[in-house]
Structure 1
């Protein structure tokens, strides 16, 4: 059984990847199905995007919670339990009688798949033992599973919708979870994992979880309301909930969101902030491009999937190259390179037009795929190094939370801009916004490198 130095076997990586792939894959795979779901359930764009943003809200809350539970109760049982719940929910999705029930299934999917990534990093660290350097190959595999699958989502989703309808986007998870459960039961038993002290409801910080959830929901409603009738009073709600959340988390010994710890650990805080900004850019692209290609350019879902395929392939191809660069030079240089490429790639959206050739569309997709692979692995490596001992699961959960905070912002932006202007001009507006975000991220990355 092939191992990376430190004990991370290929069987373990395969098992962890099958679980890790489900959350990001399902976060983006729904993109190409939104148009079909709009028609079948007779809802608008802003309403249908709740299948995406609702998923992100639950995942954003559950990732650090599941990470903490994995630290305390054991990563193996959380990993396997999540697969069982995910497979069951996915099998029931096509039976949903209306849009509300389908949304409930999506929320259950988000909670169930939130167990995988934090548990996976705990198990990798346990299998690898004490090492001076992060296990680059293992992290590269998990990066492809986590970020490459998000890029693969629109491709796979387009093919599934074209062949079998939106129901297939849910049912495809069933065989994956079944295989994952069988492998997990056999492989994870051999990985020694230490558990922390048992925790009860009081230690879970339920008030903190409620405040964080309410803050995200209020923020999304506030942003989405800008498309038609702005609910300005929600801005006050957001401010109040933010203040209460910080006060609460600073005053309890075991906070859901460790505000003090984040303030003290600048390396971890920097990684999380960049994670949020980068995913705002990428999810605007992952969702905006398929919607534009289908509704404005008139391509069918299968063709849309093929047109964004180069984005996925390049993201996966550059990951092993990035892993070698990180082993030799560290993660700071590749991360800055990825941020620079992100500025160029997001600027390329201005080249899209109503008569843009297929060749140029494929070229833009290639350009968009490169920074995805580079930035995700370099950030994940920085996270592994910055996470405090004994809090790998919680730190990994926060890492995924900031992924979804960026995704939530992206779906809100698309709901506001494209609800009013589903056109090439609307996509250009989205492109200008994310280019500005990419420029800011590059500037922050440059400052971080100069301080080293």
Structure 2
């Protein structure tokens, strides 16, 4: 791997780890924020949901902006936005301001994430799966160690430290990116010099507005599914999404090129599969720590150590997956991954309160291996399916499917456990996850066979 490519990978990896790092660090800060601002959990949990909702909207928007204005420019700007918001968040005069800076932070990390994958798609053309494996190590590693890092900083320097830690990472990524990411094509500069009205036309401002309102409505409806008022908001969001699709079919410069993507059905299948993969992964990521602490009475430290098997197996698997996928394509790795998730889910069904911790660690390891295969395999499949000129918005939608999967995982856990974590609910979770994983095996085997064969022949 030549020096410039290494710098490029380092800049993208450091930038893209900011999103999973901040989405996972906050989980250990909620209790402290409740104490500081004297709020209940339902209110402070919006630190988590606001980040996910705004990221779900911002990812494809920033992918589109990168396609139009230049990806290097958007990437560097995103690093600046993250640094400024992380610096101002600890100075928030109230919780509302803290939420606002958290949303701005999510927009900055979305600018980095959406175009970072597209930059990879365009400039890392040889042994691409190996490059994706390196990227997966950054992203998965950040998600895996986020709670531990957050707990360390909160213990020694209180909650503002989980924001301030972003600044040196962003500065380092900016330095590498400035040197390694090639300058944007001239068409990006030409678009940048257009008037604001022309910008809105190129970006499809109405399409973005409809998409944002639709996503917010749907997610609010899902997150508050027991409230009839929010159910109505969810239905309204669904209606707006219908209007959005109708608008995109007629728009001259659509925000999401629905007609174009219709010619590449593999993209839609990959996004759906990636969403289901994240439902499986985050059901364990969020569910098992609560089970271990509340039902098995493990300490937070021991729970964190046990949960590391999930993240570490992802990290160890990713580079091996990259080599395999470069040789054989993504499909075999994805089928094996789905089969492992079926095995792990069935294993969960057999658990009870007398099950050994080693057994639980092995289940988490199985899901960690499958996650390493998925992270590389799904991205490689997306790169082979998405047209180069729409790589930014395709990458943004791909990352949005991750957040949708995370939200659905939270809803699934709430539906099964309610207010009490118990082993019988864990077995029910295992049955549901086994059904989802089995569906993934069928989808990958049947729906994507021809697409992957076509991609491998290109």
Give the alignment's TM-score, normalised by structure 2.
0.87
Q: Which runs of 5+ in 1 are unaligned?
A: none
Where does residue 195 of structure 2 map in the other structure?
none
Q: 2-side partners of 1:166 and 1:356: how far apart?
A: 36
Q: Which runs of 5+ in 2 are unaligned?
A: 192-197, 454-458
Q: Secondary structure in 1 aligned to 2:220?
A: helix
1:110 Cα deviation (Å)? 0.9
Where does residue 177 of structure 1 map in the other structure?
170
Correspondence 1:23 to 2:19? yes
CA contact (8 A) 1:290 1:304 kept: yes
Deviates more, 1:351-360 or 1:238-247: 351-360
Give the alignment's TM-score, normalised by structure 1.
0.88
CA contact (8 A) 1:45 1:415 kept: no
Deviates more, 1:214-223 or 1:63-72: 214-223
Counterpart mapping for 1:209-224 below 5 A: 209-224=208-223
Q: 2-side partners of 1:38 and 1:431: how far apart?
A: 32
Counterpart mapping for 1:259-278 below 5 A: 259-278=258-277
Where does residue 29 of structure 2 map in the other structure?
33
Deviations 1:23-62 (A, max 9, x none): 1222223233334434444444444432222212111111
Deviations 1:153-178 (A, max 9, x none): 33433444455444333232122112
Counterpart mapping for 1:379-418 below 5 A: 379-418=378-417
1:393 Cα deviation (Å)? 1.5
Tell me the C-alpha RMSD between the 2 structures.
Answer: 2.7
Where does residue 322 of structure 1 map in the other structure?
321
1:354 Cα deviation (Å)? 4.6
1:312 Cα deviation (Å)? 1.0
Where does residue 144 of structure 1 map in the other structure?
137
CA contact (8 A) 2:7 2:180 kept: yes
Q: 2-side partners of 1:86 and 1:75: how far apart?
A: 16
| More RCO (CA 8 Å, sep 6+) | 1
Where does residue 293 of structure 1 map in the other structure?
292
Where does residue 334 of structure 1 map in the other structure?
333
- Aligned residue pair count: 444
Q: 2-side partners of 1:418 and 1:210: how far apart?
A: 36
CA contact (8 A) 1:66 1:114 kept: yes
Structure 1 runs (4+) deviating above 6 angstroms are: none
Deviates more, 1:92-101 or 1:303-312: 92-101
- Going from structure 1 to structure 2, the CA distance change for 1:346 and 1:229 (only over 3 Å counts) comes to farther
Where does residue 160 of structure 2 map in the other structure?
167
- Which of 6, 26, 31 is equivalent to 1:10? 6
Where does residue 360 of structure 2 map in the other structure?
361
Deviates more, 1:406-415 or 1:135-144: 406-415
Counterpart mapping for 1:333-352 below 5 A: 333-352=332-351
Deviates more, 1:211-220 or 1:265-274: 211-220
Deviations 1:88-136 (A, max 9, x none): 22233333344333222221111001122332234334434xx5x6622
Where does residue 252 of structure 2 map in the other structure?
253
